[in-house]
Amino acid sequence: MLTAILAIGILAALFGLLLGYSAIRFKIDSDPVVDQIDAILPQTQCGQCSYAGCRPYAEAIAAGEADINQCPPGGEATIQALADLLGRDPKPLNAEHGLHTEKRVAIIDEDVCIGCTLCIQACPVDAILGAAKQMHTVIASECTGCELCVPPCPVDCIDMVPVETDIRHWKWPYPEDQQRRIANGKT
């Protein structure tokens, strides 16, 4: 009896030590699921999901605090990808957080800009260039279209404009849409 208790006790202590050692030795700093979710999110950092950015939203999804349908810029494609990753059922975008629109970029009306730097402070990706009392401008290629710079502007000189399709980024239309259009045109 005593031997058995001793043996089990020693084994338990051994495994405890082993587990304790591996917990330190093979420690993973961040949750890989968070990284995977973050990789799917569109990184606009717009905060429409009610979190402070894409990574906090990813952390909230991983923790089960947020749903997967709160990202309007990502739209259906992102919801689908998240559903695939997490093994959940896809659901329609929660309209409370906004509607999915085509990608737009901010443009500053440079004649109106007073150089207050408020938009520069609001931009989550440092895509606005300027200095105090100097005209500001948006680096269009870096703009994620998050619209965070629009409300702070005291003179309302920032507009969101749709990205123009150029020949290198043109996409073939979905054939059924095209056929429907042709059919509609004829009738």
Query: Which spans of this chain sit near another protein (rule: CB under 8 A)?
Result: 38, 41-45, 53-54, 77, 124-127, 142, 144, 165-176, 178-179, 183
Beta carbon nearer to another protein, 151 or 173:
173
Minimum distance, C-beta of residue 175 to another protein, in the bound complex (Å): 4
Among 44, 69, 65, 64, which residue's Cα sits nearest to residue 54?
44
First vs last Cα of the chain: how many Å apart? 92
Q: Least distance to another protein from the beta carbon of 113, Å?
A: 21
CA 168, 171, 137, 46 torsion-angle sign: negative
Q: Which is nearer to another protein, 6 or 43 (CB)?
A: 43
Nearest-angstrom CA–CA distance, 114 and 112 = 6
Closer to another protein at the Cβ: 26 or 172?
172
Minimum Å gap between C-beta 116 and another protein is 19
CB of 91 vs another protein, minimal distance in Å: 17
Distance CA 160, CA 147 (A): 7
